[in-house]
Amino acid sequence: MSEQTELSRGGSAGARWNNVLRFLVREAGVAVGLVLIVLFFCVTAPYFASAENFLKIFVQIAINTVLASGMTFVILTGGIDLSVGSVLALCTVVGALIMTDKSLPAGLSVPLAILGCMGTGAACGAINGWVCEQWKLPSFIVTLGMLNVASGAARVLSNNSTITGLPQPFVDFGNMIVGGVLPSIFLVAVGVILIGWFILRFTVFGRFIFAIGTNEEAVRLSGHTPRNYKIAAFAISGLTAGTAAVVYLLRLNIGSPIAGVGYELNAIAAVIIGGTSLSGGKGSIIGSLIGACILQVLSTGLQLFGVGDNFKPIVIGTVIVLAVVLDTYRDRFLRSIETR
Amino acid sequence: MNDVILKLKAVGKRFPGVIALRDVSLEVRRGEAHVLLGENGAGKSTLINLLAGIYVPDEGEIVFDGEPYQPRTPLDAYGVGIRVVHQELSMLSQLTVAENLLFESLPRRHGLVNFWEMNRRAAELLQEVGLDVAPNIPVSRLGVAQMQLVEIAKALCYDSKLLILDEPTATLTSKEVERLFEILKKLKSKGVTILYISHRLQEIYDIGDAVTVLRDGQVVETRPLAGLAIADIVRMMVGRSIRDEDAFRDDVAVEGELLRVEGLKRNARTPAVSFAVRRGEIVGVAGLVGSGRTETMRALFGADPKIAGSVFVEGARVEIRSPRDAVQHGLSLLTEDRKGQGLLLTLPCAENITITDITKISRAGLLQPDVEREKASALVTELRIKTPSVYQLVGNFSGGNQQKVVIAKWLFRGSKILICDEPTRGIDVGAKREIYDLLWALAASGKGVIFVSSDLLELISMCHRIIVFSQGKIVGELPRPEFNQQRILSLAYEEYGLERAN
């Protein structure tokens, strides 16, 4: 160990290269992967490198990015949230109902709807967390239940129909493209990511999320109550599902009980590709953003490549598993150069 | 004259930082019941695991039934006729009794399990051990004693030559023990050799022919049991080991009660315990594993539930329902399982230290990395934790350094009372000494230390007083002038039938 530090301080060419390599592999592994995939498509696929195409990708990753950021909190504590897709559906219904309610004053309906979306999402998430902790149940089961409950609630509230006729200013904001390349909804997603990153990186709360995922019992025996933090993590995942519902309304301008089917799996895939460990304690929200980008870039690139919709899932599924396999090799590699 | 079925020649086994067995030579005669005795950590379990093919010895050789015996897996052990009934039962609890009994060779017909044949053979085996349960019920519906008998029945169905039982009676009632001994005697009469491990010194006379005492990983002596008094056995277990350089400091002032525990009861079945700790005092807690010492400390700390008892800190009654309450009242627990319960192995040293009092390194919910580095570094220096930086992951630290990190985290919190459960387990000699000095420095600064340990010499060299637990009860409290290994050990065994035998 000390020899290693000695070497790197000595600054021989080999040692410096070793350090650069370690940094690339550890900190930027997934990002390098994304850059390689983008470069590959830029060179090989027609139209991929156009501004128009990137704009489309930015629009398409917004929802998954928002969902994945909340999902990161839950997975970091060692849990999983399968309910975000149908909670999103429920929230779009709640938001659309409020926006289209003619009894509300014009200026108030949109802010109220946004609050309604986020509040509903956070409430669903908090219920998930509370049930898990109260009866010590696996989150897989509890959120699977919530997946169905929220989906049913969305159908009941909407009378199983699509709600249209959202206020024009709201629709206009959703179509806005800042500076010609940055869609408004992408900026919302970036905002969510930045907030999430800040919380995990710089706050006491974030510190506890990592600590609980690493060793919950040690945190408890250090005089804390992991339960509250875990419930909060689920509430955050619900909150981001509500936020993703707002993004959905901005993008598609409808509230729908069948929105978001399968979104939870895309969000989980993004988090896992981003290097967050399913057993908790290790990962980052920036990784989840990159994971979401990789999924979308692959999907778009394959389409431009002429790979049919039927083949695409085969490639994407393979990439998800490959990413995790590479992750284990990354750990092994890091350990080998650290002990060398 | 019986011939020798099992012979160990100069067998040794090392683990990182500890020598578990050293130059162990042992002979077990065919058809005898051989009892293996020793304190916690004397090497009994390691020895069994070597025979069971779970560990591989580093040196020496084993001869079983006239052949050199070098098992690599438990299957090798079964192959030559050695069966082990481990203390922790390993049953497939959702499967039936019959499936468990015959799992390794299920009777088959046309590639399918022949359930009729399986249940028939299982019923025979159950009858042999006198266990009256249906072979087709799931094992999870059996009591612990019944499971124990199933394990023994399992050992029977493979024509075992050597049956090893690790504390089989720990969970049994006296009636069940009688039944077990009947079966063992029957097996013995059929020529099966038995290697028997127990804490209950009195009962070994009912079954044993010879006894081997282990101490510090070495064989003290093998003797026939006949004519051997319990007092002799205890003397062999204690022996006259060379005492470490005495760590005791008489310059530390002991004054004023810091902690008092009155009538603490973990559950309806356990007796109430009471004890106290003063400022500057190191109170030793002795007892066998499972005697309630760890369990009592965890209940005191709020880590496990308790049903009764009052706790006073500096004379004031405090309510402790969770570790959070305990920490707020100045208690701290250095758990016996350092890695599993004390540390965040994949996180940096600094984060491990500051986790106990995060308000000291944050403002308005935001972390202050500079303050954290500074405070953690100060403790790293003070405790001489060997690390190039406070950002090293504690998972890479040695056992001694990890233990220092655990101490550091409680110092960071400013705890007044340190409950240390086996603080030097798995730590090498040099680092042990540092931990001792550290605990004394803490005592000198007016803190109180509860020192739970299986190592009697360590307790004797460190403590002002020693409290002895036996079967969940506090059976004695010795002041320093009365410290005596044999006395402590006799107390520790007291509730396990020693009195009766004398």
Q: Which of A208, A219, A282 sits opposite B346 (nearest CB)?
A: A282
In a domain, A306, yes or no: yes
Q: Which residue has the higher pLDDT, B168 or B499?
A: B168
B500: which residues sit within 8 A by CB, 6+ positions away?
A: B202
Chain B residues touching residue A203 (CB < 8 angstroms): 362, 365-367
Domain boundary among B239, B274, B300: B239
- Nearest-by-CA chain B residue for A212: B344
Residue A56 belongs to domain with CATH number:
1.10.3470
- Nearest-by-CA chain A residue for B392: A1
Across the range A315-327, mean pLDDT stands at 87
In a domain, A113, yes or no: yes
Q: What's the structural domain count of chain A?
A: 1
Position B497 scores a pLDDT of 62
Across the range A235-263, mean pLDDT stands at 97
Position B239 scores a pLDDT of 65
HEC sequence for B327-396: HHCCEEEECCCHHHHHCCCCCEHHHHHHHHHHHHHEECCEECHHHHHHHHHHHHHHCCCCCCCCCCEHHH
In a domain, B137, yes or no: no
Contacts with B, A 254-283, CB within 8 Å: 281-282
Minimum mean pLDDT range among A247-256, B87-96, B216-225:
B87-96
Grade residue B242 by pLDDT with cuts at 50, 70 and 90: very low
pLDDT at residue A125 is higher than 80: yes
Minimum mean pLDDT range among A1-5, B32-36, B208-212, B486-490:
A1-5
Q: Which residue has the higher pLDDT, B83 or A64?
A: A64
* Residues B333, B219 share a domain: no
Beta strand pairing status for B473-479 and B465-470? antiparallel
In a domain, A180, yes or no: yes
- Nearest-by-CA chain B residue for A221: B323
Checking B176-181 for CB contacts under 8 A at 24+ apart, the result is B176/B145, B176/B148, B177/B203, B179/B130, B179/B149, B180/B148, B180/B149, B180/B152, B181/B206, B181/B207
Question: What is the rounded CA–CA span in Å between residue A269 and residue A292?
Answer: 8
In a domain, A38, yes or no: no
Q: Which of A205, A217, A281 sits opposite B346 (nearest CB)?
A: A281
Domain range for B272 is: 255-501
Grade residue A3 by pLDDT with cuts at 50, 70 and 90: very low
pLDDT at residue A315 is higher than 50: yes
Across the range B55-64, mean pLDDT stands at 92
Position B2 scores a pLDDT of 56
Grade residue B1 by pLDDT with cuts at 50, 70 and 90: very low
pLDDT at residue A13 is higher than 70: no
Q: Which of B333, B362, B365 sits opposite A221 (nearest CB)?
A: B333
pLDDT, tens only, B141-191: 887 778 878 888 887 777 788 999 988 877 677 777 888 888 888 888 888
Residues in chain A: 340
* Residues B307, B396 share a domain: yes
* Residues B306, B206 share a domain: no
* Residues B232, B354 share a domain: no
pLDDT at residue A2 is higher than 70: no
Question: What is the rounded CA–CA span in Å between residue A186 and residue A61?
Answer: 8
Grade residue A312 by pLDDT with cuts at 50, 70 and 90: confident
Q: Which of A211, A214, A218 sits opposite B342 (nearest CB)?
A: A218
pLDDT at residue B307 is higher than 80: yes
* Inter-residue contact B392 to B352 (CB < 8 Å): no
Neighbours of A65 (CB within 10 A): 31
Question: What is the rounded CA–CA span in Å between residue A205 and residue A211?
Answer: 10
Residue B225 belongs to domain with CATH number:
3.40.50.300
In a domain, A37, yes or no: no
What percent of chain B has a predicted confidence (pLDDT) above 70? 96
Q: Which of A211, A214, A223 sits opposite B324 (nearest CB)?
A: A223
Question: What is the rounded CA–CA span in Å between residue A340 and residue A337?
Answer: 5
* Contact yes or no for A219 and B340 at CB 8 A: no
Strand partners, A167: none
pLDDT, tens only, B403-412: 999 999 999 9
Grade residue A14 by pLDDT with cuts at 50, 70 and 90: low
* Residues B269, B233 share a domain: no
Q: Nearest-CA distance from A174 to chain B in Å? A: 33
In a domain, B324, yes or no: yes
A210: which residues sit within 8 A by CB, 6+ positions away?
A: A76, A200, A281, A282, B347, B351
* Residues B218, B317 share a domain: no
Q: Which of A202, A214, A221 sits opposite B366 (nearest CB)?
A: A202
pLDDT, tens only, B332-355: 999 988 888 999 999 999 999 999
| A200, A202, A203, A222, best to mutate vs chain B, most B CBs in 10 Å | A222
* Residues B215, B279 share a domain: no
| A221, A337, A339, best to mutate vs chain B, most B CBs in 10 Å | A221
Token representation of residue A74: 């839950």
Position A142 scores a pLDDT of 98
Contacts with B, A 192-251, CB within 8 Å: 202-208, 210-211, 214-215, 217-225
Across the range B38-65, mean pLDDT stands at 88
Position A285 scores a pLDDT of 94
Of B353, B361, B340, B419, give the one whose Cα is nearest residue B382.
Answer: B353
* Inter-residue contact A299 to A312 (CB < 8 Å): yes
Q: Nearest-CA distance from B348 to chain A in Å? A: 11
Neighbours of A67 (CB within 10 A): 34
Chain B residues touching residue A222 (CB < 8 angstroms): 323, 327, 355-356, 409
In a domain, A195, yes or no: yes
Question: What is the rounded CA–CA span in Å between residue A302 and residue B379?
Answer: 55
* Contact yes or no for A223 and B328 at CB 8 A: yes
* Residues B73, B6 share a domain: yes
* Contact yes or no for A211 and B344 at CB 8 A: yes
pLDDT at residue A1 is higher than 70: no
User: If you count residue pairs, one on A and one on B, with CB atoms under 8 Å apart, how many are there?
Assistant: 78
In a domain, B381, yes or no: yes
* Residues B421, B313 share a domain: yes
Cα torsion angle, B135, B138, B139, B145, sign = negative
Could you give the ipTM of this predicted complex?
0.87
* Contact yes or no for B345 and A214 at CB 8 A: yes
* Residues B264, B199 share a domain: no
Helix axis angle, A106-134 relative to A226-252, nearest 10°? 140
* Residues B299, B214 share a domain: no
* Residues B259, B234 share a domain: no
| Mean pLDDT, rounded, of chain B | 88
Position A305 scores a pLDDT of 83
pTM: 0.82
Q: Which residue has the higher pLDDT, B496 or B226?
A: B226
A1 touches chain B (CB under 8 A): yes
E strands, A74-189, in order: 177-178, 182-183
Position B133 scores a pLDDT of 87
H/E stretch holding A215 reads: none
Question: What is the rounded CA–CA span in Å between residue A289 and residue A276?
Answer: 11
- Nearest-by-CA chain B residue for A219: B355
Position A26 scores a pLDDT of 65
* Inter-residue contact B356 to B376 (CB < 8 Å): no
Q: What's the structural domain count of chain B?
A: 2
In a domain, B295, yes or no: yes
Across the range B371-375, mean pLDDT stands at 96
pLDDT at residue B472 is higher than 60: yes
In a domain, B187, yes or no: no
pLDDT at residue A242 is higher than 60: yes
pLDDT, tens only, A132-184: 999 999 999 999 999 999 999 999 999 999 999 999 999 999 999 998 889 99
- Nearest-by-CA chain A residue for B413: A222
pLDDT at residue A122 is higher than 50: yes
Most confident by average pLDDT, B261-265, B387-391, B498-502: B261-265
* Contact yes or no for B358 and A203 at CB 8 A: no
Q: Which of B341, B365, B396 sits opposite A221 (nearest CB)?
A: B341
Position B17 scores a pLDDT of 62
B434: which residues sit within 8 A by CB, 6+ positions away?
A: B384, B400, B404
Across the range B361-380, mean pLDDT stands at 96
Grade residue A329 by pLDDT with cuts at 50, 70 and 90: confident
Question: What is the rounded CA–CA span in Å between residue B356 and residue B152?
Answer: 47
How is residue B480 annotated by DSSP? G
pLDDT at residue A107 is higher than 50: yes
* Inter-residue contact B104 to B74 (CB < 8 Å): no
Domain range for A291 is: 47-329
Question: What is the rounded CA–CA span in Å between residue A21 and residue A137?
Answer: 42
* Contact yes or no for A2 and B388 at CB 8 A: yes
* Inter-residue contact A85 to A261 (CB < 8 Å): yes
* Inter-residue contact B25 to B74 (CB < 8 Å): no
